[in-house]
Amino acid sequence: MNRLQPLIVGAGPAGIRAAATLVQAGLRPVVVDEAKAAGGQIYRRPWLDDGRSAAALYGSEAPKATRLHAEFAALAGQVDYWPQSLVWNLRAGQADVVQEGRHRQCAFDGVLLATGATDRVLPLPGWTLPGVFTLGGAQIALKTQGCAIGRRTVFVGSGPLLYLVAWQYLRAGAEVAAVLDTAPLTAKAHLLRGLARDARVVLRGARYAAELRLRGVPLHFGVQQVQFEGTDRMTGVRWSKGAVACDAAGYGLGLRSENQLADLLGCQFVFDRRDRAWRVQRDDSGRSSVAGVYVAGDGAAIAGADAAELAGELAALTLLADRGLPVDAARKSHLQRRLAAIARMRDVLEAAFPFPAHWVDAIADSTAVCRCEEVSAGDVREAVQRFGVTELNRLKAVSRIGMGRCQGRMCAAGAAEMLAAATGQPIGAVGRLRGQAPVKPLPMGLGVADEESAA
């Protein structure tokens, strides 16, 4: 009996490597990706060919981007590729997809989730003002449309993406008014350890910071009590030791995995203390706790693009092995060793760019936490006091936090931090919002496609 095709969700580095690995073994996967063109976040492509070269778009990562784009192009005719298609629900063996405003289903045998990450933020005064973007959002505007989010932009937050996006803006000719790093300068001493582990990563980051500095961009470290100012739209950023006028800001405090689809399939989760986040439980080969469900890339754990490629290939090899197909054991071990080395480097980066969890206590009651349902920090604190809430789903039930269009993708991390602080519990004890379909907003009046399945 013919088996159904395996499904890969996401065509970033993890999904592309996974697809290539399955094709090489003679399988024909279905690859569903929300983006218009394959490449994922880091190797995202412009919507229209606007003449920018790979070097202009991807800097030092241009050769990798070009190779991966070419690798996916070479799979044409050997995979069923569904671009601009969102998997909004997953059940055992069946995916619900929205494609160009039409509902489509895909039956599958085995699924590899390579759904990547999104920005992690804490609510701050003024963060919902027009002009305030996430760091990732600011970068997407630049990569896909070649446009800046403002005339004069400040970049605020923590993590390697902070310096990368500021540098990309500068290089594209935009005015960068300041970089406000929430980590103290002393935290950067951890990068010395990183030199021994992966000098290339450390030197690349140092180059971004140095170029920003040389081009006159002020870099401030240990920035506290940040607020975005303005009435109709933002006009500046203020912090405890200064202020800067600007009309836009890119803001982010690291990344969080997009793992709601694994939740819908019943996969177990584990709490990662270093990342202060729940991630899908997986073995060292990419298997989740549910048979036939594999996870890879930043959607499984934040580890960067190189790790995503390795993990995508590893999870695909595991899928093949579980189907009884021959797999090169030496290659698997090699991938596992390289992933372990990258994970050690992640420890360094997390120490150099720590998440400012202590900010939570200072969030003013009037600050919006859940922008979809307009729930403020004061509402969260009142719910805790009034109903004795100690768990995140209960907080959702009594406050409506995370009940809106984004399903908590933007507010859940901040709400969990607030709940932990308000109840005096460790962050891992407050739980996580259960995934619900649709995992992302759907268009109203969804049509039904004629074709019901790709298989």
Ligand X SMILES: Cc1cc2nc3c(=O)[nH]c(=O)nc-3n(C[C@H](O)[C@H](O)[C@H](O)COP(=O)(O)OP(=O)(O)OC[C@H]3O[C@@H](n4cnc5c(N)ncnc54)[C@H](O)[C@@H]3O)c2cc1C
Give the footprint of ligand X on this chain (CB under 6 A).
Answer: 9-15, 32-35, 40-42, 86-87, 114-119, 136, 139-140, 164, 255, 258, 261, 297-299, 304-305, 308, 439
The answer to whether the beta carbons of residues 211 and 217 sit under 8 Å apart is no
Q: Which is nearer to ligand X, 15 or 414 (CB)?
A: 15
Q: Which is nearer to ligand X, 261 or 433 (CB)?
A: 261
Q: Which is nearer to ligand X, 205 or 404 (CB)?
A: 205
Q: Which is nearer to ligand X, 12 or 125 (CB)?
A: 12
Token digits of residue 169: 């803006």
Name the minimum Å distance from CB 253 to ligand X.
12
Q: Which is nearer to ligand X, 217 or 261 (CB)?
A: 261
Name the minimum Å distance from CB 378 to ligand X.
30
Of 272, 251, 187, give the one whose Cα is nearest residue 410: 251
Q: Which is nearer to ligand X, 264 or 420 (CB)?
A: 264
Name the minimum Å distance from CB 258 to ligand X.
5
Q: Which residues contact 336 (CB under 8 A, 6 or more apart)?
A: 284, 285, 314
Name the minimum Å distance from CB 237 to ligand X.
21
Q: Which is nearer to ligand X, 299 or 402 (CB)?
A: 299
Residue 392 belongs to what H/E stretch? helix 392-399
Name the minimum Å distance from CB 423 to ligand X.
30
- CA angle 418–355–303, rounded 5-degree value: 120
Name the minimum Å distance from CB 61 to ligand X.
7
CA distances from 294 to 97, 99, 122, 261 (A): 19, 23, 30, 11
Sign (positive or negative) of CA dihedral 147, 151, 156, 162: positive
CA distances from 430 to 143, 188, 387, 425 (A): 37, 31, 15, 7
Q: Where are the beta strands (DSSP E) in 33-174?
A: 80-82, 85-91, 94-99, 102-107, 111-113, 117-119, 132-134, 152-158
Q: Which is nearer to ligand X, 90 or 419 (CB)?
A: 90
Residue 58 belongs to what H/E stretch? helix 54-58
Could you give the 3-state DSSP secondary structure of residue 444?
A: coil
Name the minimum Å distance from CB 309 to ligand X.
8
Name the minimum Å distance from CB 15 to ligand X.
6
Own/partner contacts of 227-231, CB < 8 Å, gap of 24 or more, are 227/124, 227/125, 227/126, 228/124, 228/125, 228/126, 228/127, 228/129, 228/131, 228/132, 229/126, 230/126, 230/129, 230/131
